[in-house]
Amino acid sequence: MIIAIDGPAGSGKSTTAKIAAEKLGFIHINTGAMYRGITLKCIQEKINPTDMPEMDNILSGTEFKFCGKDGADLFMDGVNISSEITTAEVTESVSRISAIPKVREKLVEYQREMADGIDVVLEGRDIGTVVFPDADHKFFLIADIHERAKRRMQEMEAKGEIVSLSVLTAELEERDRIDSTREHSPLKKAEDAVEIDTTGLSIEQQVNRIVEIVTKSIK
């Protein structure tokens, strides 16, 4: 069974998808982490993302694997990059890298291979529309921009990074604009997706809503 959870940054999809997968006994795949991985590699190797031959080399020479409990850790080329891909530098650049058609095409290929033949919860921005348009269940999470910014600020403060709420709000608005207007695989709700507004909801409430719908379909 394939469960697709899409939504903008800060909508709660990562935590919700992870816990929902645990409760259902499914594998969790964070597709956004893979785009962050490619972004990290571009930064580390000082690759200009407009240099297509170099990007082709990066994409063809990169291997991803989710390991650990319920696939919580992302390994790129054999190295655990889970903590490195959440830095402000990666966050600032990931939308620009993600908008490159070749990047999306290659990673969609990876994602389909990873999910082949298993029960899985995938989260991202185009899972229900592009990666798995025939997913068994589709959910689209949204939230008020100010609440999303507060959530992101709390995440960064927990890692010792200090950023103002106004700056984060502006960054999220810009990322929403880029993600929803890009030509290739834009962020949008699938017509048959269940929309969940997570504003004011606890993680437990978000998870329970998804698990309840999925469980009913299994019985």
**The pLDDT of residue 80:** 95
Task: Show me where the domains of the chain are located.
Answer: 2-199
Bridge partner residues of 73 (DSSP): 67
Whole-number pLDDT of residue 219: 66
Q: pTM of the full predicted structure? A: 0.89
150 φ/ψ angles, rounded to the nearest 5 degrees: -65, -40
Q: Are 6 and 128 in contact (CB under 8 A)?
A: yes
Per-residue pLDDT of the chain (219 residues; tens, 9 = 90+): 999 999 998 899 989 999 999 999 999 999 999 999 999 999 999 999 889 999 999 999 999 988 866 667 899 999 999 989 988 899 889 989 998 999 999 999 999 998 999 999 999 999 999 999 999 999 999 999 999 999 988 888 887 888 899 999 999 999 899 889 988 888 999 999 999 999 999 999 999 999 999 999 886
Which residues are bridge partners to 124 per DSSP?
Answer: 6
* Phi and psi angles of residue 139, each rounded to the nearest 5 degrees, phi first: -130, 145
Q: What does the alpha-carbon distance between residue 12 and residue 203 come to, in Å, rounded to a whole number? A: 8
Pair of tokens at residue 81: 């990059």
The pLDDT value recorded for residue 136 is 97
Measuring CA to CA, which residue among 30, 22, 214 is closest to residue 137?
A: 214
Residue-level pLDDT at 47: 92
The pLDDT score that the predictor gives to residue 87 is 87
Q: Does domain 2-199 have CATH number 3.40.50.300?
A: yes
d(CA 149, CA 131): 27
Q: Hey, how many other C-beta atoms are within 10 angstroms of the C-beta on 38?
A: 26
Nearest Cα residue to 200 out of 155, 141, 144: 144
